[in-house]
Structure 1
Amino acid sequence: MNTNQLISEIQKKKSFLCIGLDVDLDKIPKHLLKEEDPIFAFNKAIIDATYHLCVSYKPNTAFYEAYGLKGWKALEKTINYLNENHPDIFTIADAKRGDIGNTSTMYAKAFFEDLAFDSVTVAPYMGKDSVEPFLAFEDKHTILLALTSNQGAFDFQTKTVDGKELYKQVLETSKTWKNSRNLMYVVGATKAEYLADIRNIIPDSFLLVPGVGAQGGNLQEVCKYGMADNVGLLINSSRGIIYASNGEDFAQVAAEKAKELQQEMQLILSQ
């Protein structure tokens, strides 16, 4: 999926919501544990209830890798289900990969070719030769960790080096990499006050913004400082939607929570 297709989907659905599919078997409704593949059964129910309200889904691969082969198969079934039934949905492999040379190429092939995700999250710490292999894939997007929502982000990302915060140096340097047009960036919703400076550096790039909901990020603040002319935002909510209920009505309640965010987004877009 290219950026214009994503923008078109945002305009059609009046939504820039991304739903995180972070499946923990200790948190899903107990009746699903009787299913042959409870992870996929949970994901399918969430997708069926919410696909018309969001433009993106983001499985965090750690929640699948933790269950070994069964978990990876559930991830494969989930992305196949999305690609076959909702090809207009933007898919994100939240894998936070990043290594040099051929290793990055193999990671990219795993997520872009084998699993056919539209995008993957990548850590920038090892520099351009760890990121450019991802950027080489046409109509695929590399979502670079820039300023994350966790407390530990202050350990390095906001430290000043030669008079400039490290995250700003990451943003500026990444723009010089080959095929940088395929870059998106992760900026946590809990760092909304930084978004104005970020937009000065990357005015049109899409930002994946986790942290709205359970982590306390404010949607209005994020949009005030971070929205671009092309919207340029994918606001992720995971726990606040998918675990809003642990009863048999979990999918219905998830849809209600997603609808609340979509309606708020629709209002913002109309202003």
Structure 2
Amino acid sequence: MTANQLFKNICRKKSFLCIGLDTDIKKIPKHLLSEKKPIFEFNKAIVDATADFCVAYKLNIAFYESLGVEGWQALEETVDYIRHHYPDQFLIADAKRGDIGNTSEMYAHTFFEQFNFDAVTVAPYMGEDSVSPFLKYPDKWVILLALTSNKGAFDFQLTEDANGEKLFEKVLHRSMNWATSDRMMYVVGATKEAYFEKIREIVPNHFLLIPGVGAQGGDLEKVGELAINDQCGILVNSSRQILYASDSNLFYKAAAFEAQKIQQVMYAVLLKHGWVS
């Protein structure tokens, strides 16, 4: 999926919502635990209920690999289900991988060939040769960690060199030479809204994947105003607010309600910019 195709999906669905399928078996409704495949059944119900309100799903790999073989099977089944029933969805493996070349080649093979994701999150701090294996797939995306939403981002990402350049700015400047805006996105936390203007100065054309709205305290309306570019250029992720809106048998209806509430705010942002009517 190209950036232009993603933008068209955003306009068609009047949404730039990415739903994080961070499915925690300890938090799903208890009645699902009697199912043979509880994680997949939960994901399937959530996807069926919310697909009209979002353009992407982000699966945090930790929640699946922590369950061993059954978790990996649930991951594969979820991706296959979305691919078959909702082929317009942009699928992100939130894996935060990044290692020396031959190891990264295996990670890229895993998520792009074995699981057929559109994109994978990658940590850039081992440099270009740890990222380039992911860029060998011409129709796939790399989403580099740039400025994250957690408090620990201040430990390293916001430190400055002798010239006053912050580490996350250095990551943005250097990585722009690795791929075009049709191949690379950046993770920027919603709680770091003070830095959106600077980020857009450095990477005006790239999509930003923005977590941290909702449970982590990010303000969706501010994000929509500060981070957007001339082709929208943002995917805003929400996970817990949607997934765990209810633990009743009708959990999926509560999830749909929360997703639609977020989508309506996004619709107002897109309407203001004249991209939808």
Structures share a fold, TM > 0.5? Answer: yes
The aligned residue for residue 106 of structure 2 is 106
Instruction: Give the 3 Å change call, closer, same or farther, for CA 178–191 of structure 1 in structure 2.
Output: closer
What stretches of structure 2 of length at least 5 have no aligned partner? 273-277
Contact 1:135–1:178 (Cα < 8 Å) also in 2: yes
Contact 1:132-1:179 within 8 A present in 2 as well:
no
Residue 75 (structure 1) aligns with: 75
Distance apart, 1:38 and its partner CA: 0.2
Q: Is the 8 A contact 1:135 1:180 kept in 2?
A: no
Which residue does 1:248 correspond to in 2?
249
Contact persistence 1:95–1:122 (CA under 8 A): yes
Secondary structure of residue in 2 paired with 1:167: helix
- The residue that corresponds to 1:218 in the other structure is 219
For residues 257 and 180 of structure 2, the distance between their equivalents in structure 1, rounded to whole angstroms, comes to 39
**Please, what TM-score do these two structures have when normalized by structure 2?**
0.96
What secondary structure, in the 3-state scheme, does the structure 2 residue paired with 1:212 have?
A: coil
Give the corresponding residue for 1:199.
200
Match of 2:112, SS? helix
Structure 1 position 249, deviation (Å) = 1.2
Q: Match of 1:111, SS?
A: helix
Structure 1 range deviating more: 210-219 or 132-141:
132-141
Other structure's SS at 1:47 match: helix
CA contact (8 A) 2:3 2:181 kept: no
Q: Is the 8 A contact 1:207 1:233 kept in 2?
A: yes
| Counterpart Cα distance in 2 of 1:226 and 1:15 | 15
Q: Kindly report the root-mean-square deviation, in angstroms, between the aligned alpha carbons of the 2 structures.
A: 0.9
Greater shift, 160-169 or 149-158, is seen at: 160-169
Corresponding position of 2:229: 228
- Shift of residue 158 of structure 1? 0.3
Query: 1:17·1:262 contact (CA, 8 Å) conserved in 2?
Result: yes
Q: Is the 8 A contact 1:174 1:180 kept in 2?
A: no
Whether 2:24 is the aligned partner of 1:19: answer no
Q: Which moved more, 1:100-109 or 1:72-81?
A: 100-109
Letter in 2 for 1:68: G
Q: Percent identity?
A: 58
Point out where structure 1 has 5 or more consecutive residues left out of the alignment. Answer: none
Q: Residue 183 of structure 1 aligns with which residue?
A: 184
Q: Any idea what SS the aligned residue of 2:72 has? A: helix
- The answer to whether the 8 A contact 2:181-2:205 is kept is no
Aligned-partner residue type, residue 262 of structure 1? Q
Q: Which amino acid aligns with 1:261?
A: I
CA contact (8 A) 1:135 1:179 kept: no
Q: Is the 8 A contact 2:50 2:259 kept in 1?
A: yes
Q: Which residue in 1 is equivalent to 2:89?
A: 89
The total of aligned residue pairs comes to 271
SS in 2 for 1:221: helix
Structure 1 counterpart of 2:275: none
Q: How many Å separate the matches in 2 of 1:188 and 1:249?
A: 31
Q: How does 1:258-269 map to 2 (within 5 A)?
A: 258-269=259-270
Q: Runs of 4 or more off by more than 3 Å in structure 1? A: 178-181
Per-residue deviation, 1:3: 1.5
Matches within 5 A, 1:111-150: 111-150=111-150
CA contact (8 A) 2:208 2:235 kept: yes
Question: Matched residues in 1 for 2:178 and 2:14: separation?
Answer: 32
| Per-residue CA distance 1:107-130 (angstroms, 9 max, x = gap) | 001000110000000000100000
- The answer as to whether partners of 1:144 and 1:185 remain within 8 angstroms in 2 is yes
Task: Name the SS for the 2:27 alignment partner.
Answer: coil
Shift in Å, 1:179: 5.5
